Structure 1
């Protein structure tokens, strides 16, 4: 265990600093754009540009890492992201924001390929779960706390952007100081949406709808908070609540999903997300800021955990050799949802008002719950016990934790499953 930690402490420290900057940036950008008079619809277009850039980066990353190696890739990409953040201080039009956010999506996708691929390659079989838990908890805490940094500056000045750039630049130091050997070069991942849709439709549709819902909520939540009368600190705290809820619920949901048909868990989380979305609408109408904060924590604990269960469900079904490709395909489905979801969410806010964001989230989540319920009625399957870790869609650590099937009986199908946790080594990013 100690030797495995020695191999990953530098990349874990670097990723934690990077995610601290990224979390602050997620809260800062929509507030800055709103302060400059950019419409909610345009903010949604900027968020969609990030999703498009991220999905593009997923295809570029493996070949780039094979060409320059993990350490050089991280160093060059982190430097580029830092420059893009500084360039955002000079962005005064929707087009400028779209270009910069799209480019940051490409570079961050490549960086997450480096970091998660490194972690997955270095974690040994006997300690993989604990190693990945340490890594994910560190990065989640960084994402959870960093939006609170909004309170230490003025969104109309450049100081907070400089702080984000500084955090991302500091992430270079652990990588530059590492004395451990970097992992071997990754291999390519084939994206096979049609094939996986035929095999595990619940997982593919689930990942897509997660992108449709979570993408706009995370991207536009600070604007929603300000629009319903919260100050900028309280609006940023909503992002803190989302990540805190996700962190608190990861193990209970993992325990539950290992003991039941995972589709029941997906359907329950989606239905719960829909109900809590309506509760957020009621609380915002009452002006109950503390209740709104708690509702966001519950919403994050439900909605932000669906993707991981979708990954585990798909990996229950596919052959062991297809796990990396499966997770890559699910990430592509998620990224597609993230690309178009902010457009729908922003449009709902433009037509209905601020609360349109969560009316949209409620409807989309309910649609997913109904779809999964139809799949459960149509095909029953045996639950598979195995390891589970709440990983973000951006994490290629997920295939390393996903339980796999020795045999299966067709689409979402039943089959005799071994009660074991699969340890599929992820040599490439999803």
Structure 2
């Protein structure tokens, strides 16, 4: 790990600053929107804008990079992010905020694609697994730090919007001044959605439903916390719990999934997360209960993303694994666009409990579908399954493909050692 930090420290530092800025803006908007008198449904539209933009950016940015190069794309998109963050407190209108969130989603997606390409190019095959782990930890730490900054600021002013703008601007320096050369940009040809569904119906349906879970869980978290009557420091603790849970449960769930029928692990994780959300819908307005539910729900949701990718890979040849990532990410992104909107509507009907209701319904739907799929196809022997690789839902196609390629390399090395 020391070697990873030495070779990629500038890139990881830049990504840390980007994640802090992104995590802070997402949380402060929900709080500020409430202070401005936005309705819950209006805020849900605002929050969904980010996921719409992110979906578009993930499809368009690769073409921009091929046309004008990494440096220009990164600098341009990061500049738009800084400008958009300053506009939020200046023009407090739901329509303007929705448009700005679309811009932010598009730009952050493009920035992540560019930075992940650099990070992949800066590491060796032997260190790629550790680099991916370091990148995931940087993402999580950045999000948690962002919540700490939120608790110290005043959401009614400008500072909490200026800080992420400054952080994003500063993040240019370590990345653009890195000694790493500009990498070639290549992605695998995506598998058609029809072919992907034929290969793994559970992977496709699960990724669509998990897109809604993630978007509702993260996009509406600050809105829920304010509706539940939490103070600003309590809002920060609640949101941080989601990311802390993801860190705690990622490794043990991955370890279990490599040793038994992965569909059972998917079913179990979704069931635990769904039941936790049911508890949250009943008694979630109590701070400690809400934080506990957030830790469990976040801790189940993030590994489920990786589990569904690994499950899909179980039915693919190694040459097709990287190509499947694009389709799965697209399906997840489509599901994410509607997540905050449905959550906002339910919160308007049921109050704060609606935040947990949507997550419970989606997770328990995965439970039901996984159970049904287990009756339609026999399990693959454990020693023939693909390796579980932790991938964050906020990662782009580049990081996902790199993770799949690393898993393939590990499997090939193990086969050679066994031979």
Output the TM-score relative to the length of structure 2: 0.92
2:343 to 332, 342, 345: 345
Equivalent pair of 2:387/2:407 in contact (CA under 8 Å): no
CA positional deviation for 1:64: 1.1
Q: Does 1:398 align with 2:400?
A: yes
Q: Say whether the 8 Å CA contact 2:122–2:180 is kept in structure 1.
A: no
Residue 302 (structure 1) aligned with residue 277 (structure 2): no
| Counterpart in the other structure of 2:389 | 388
Q: Give CA deviations for 1:138-194 in whole Å, capped at 9, x if unaligned.
A: 221111221121122111111100001011111011023212212112347436222
Q: Which residue of structure 2 lines up, in the alignment, with residue 91 of structure 1?
A: 91
Separation in 2 of the partners of 1:2 and 1:256?
28
2:51 is matched with: 51
Q: Report what 1:317 is aligned to.
A: 315
Distance 1:236 1:314 in 2: 35
Which range is displaced more, 328-337 or 292-301?
Answer: 292-301
Correspondence for 2:221: 221
> Could you list the per-position Cα deviations for residues 234-284 of structure 1 after superposition, in whole angstroms to 9, with x for gaps in the alignment?
112211000001011111111111112222221111111110001212332
Partner of 1:249: 249
Task: Provide the residue aligned with 1:69 in structure 2.
Answer: 69
Write the distance in 2 (CA, Å) between the matches of 1:261 and 1:404: 22
Does structure 2 conserve the Cα–Cα contact (< 8 Å) formed by 1:192 and 1:325?
Answer: no
Give me the whole-angstrom Cα distance separating, in 2, the residues matched to 1:41 and 1:191.
36
Q: Distance in 2 between matches of 1:40 and 1:192?
A: 37
The answer (yes or no) to whether the contact 1:320–1:405 under 8 Å persists in 2 is no
2:332 matched to 1:330?
no
Counterpart of 1:206 in structure 2 is 206
Q: CA RMSD in A?
A: 2.2
Contact 1:216-1:341 at 8 Å conserved across structures: yes
Spell out the pairing of 1:93-172 with structure 2 (5 A cutoff): 93-172=93-172
Q: How does 1:13-52 map to 2 (within 5 A)?
A: 13-52=13-52
**Partners of 2:68 and 2:97 in 1: CA distance:** 29
Unpaired stretches in structure 2, ≥5 consecutive residues: none
Cα contact 1:267–1:369 (8 A) shared by 2: yes
For 2:390, what is the secondary structure of its paired residue? coil
Q: Is 1:356 equivalent to 2:354 in the alignment?
A: yes
Contact 1:387 1:403 (8 Å CA) reproduced: no
Unaligned runs of 5+ in 1: 407-417, 423-430
Q: Higher helix fraction: Structure 1 or Structure 2?
A: 2
Aligned partner of residue 304 in structure 1, secondary structure? helix
CA contact (8 A) 1:315 1:405 kept: no
- After superposition, the Cα gap between the structure-2 partners of 1:189 and 1:161, relative to the gap in structure 1 and judged at 3 Å, is farther
Displacement, 1:400? 2.5
Distance 1:405 1:114 in 2: 22
Contact conserved, 1:140 with 1:243, CA < 8 A, in 2? yes
Match of 1:173 in 2: 173
CA distance 1:295–1:28, change in 2 (3 Å): same
- The 2-side partners of 1:18 and 1:378 are apart by 44
Partner of 2:278: 278
Counterpart position of 1:415: none
Q: Which moved more, 1:63-72 or 1:361-370?
A: 63-72
Post-superposition shift, 1:55? 0.9
Q: 1:194 to 1:157 in 2, by over 3 A?
A: same
Distance 1:99 1:329, change over 3 A: same
Tell me the CA shift for residue 381 of structure 1: 2.2
1:84-103 CA-partner distances (Å, limit 9, x unpaired): 11111223211101110011
* Matched residue SS, 1:171: helix
CA distance in 1, matches of 2:394, 2:165: 24
Q: 86-95 or 17-26: which moved more?
A: 86-95
Distance 1:387 1:197, change over 3 A: closer
TM-score, scaled to structure 1: 0.90
Judging changes above 3 Å, is the alpha-carbon distance between structure 1 residues 421 and 156 closer, same or farther for their aligned structure 2 residues?
farther
* 1:34-82 C-alpha deviation (Å, 9 max, x unpaired): 1101111111111222111111111111111112322332222111111
Deviation sequence 1:3-43 (CA, Å, 0-9, x none): 66554322211111100111111110111111101111111
Separation (CA, whole Å) in 2 of partners of 1:66 and 1:326: 21
- Asked if the contact 2:8/2:119 (under 8 Å) is kept, the reply is yes
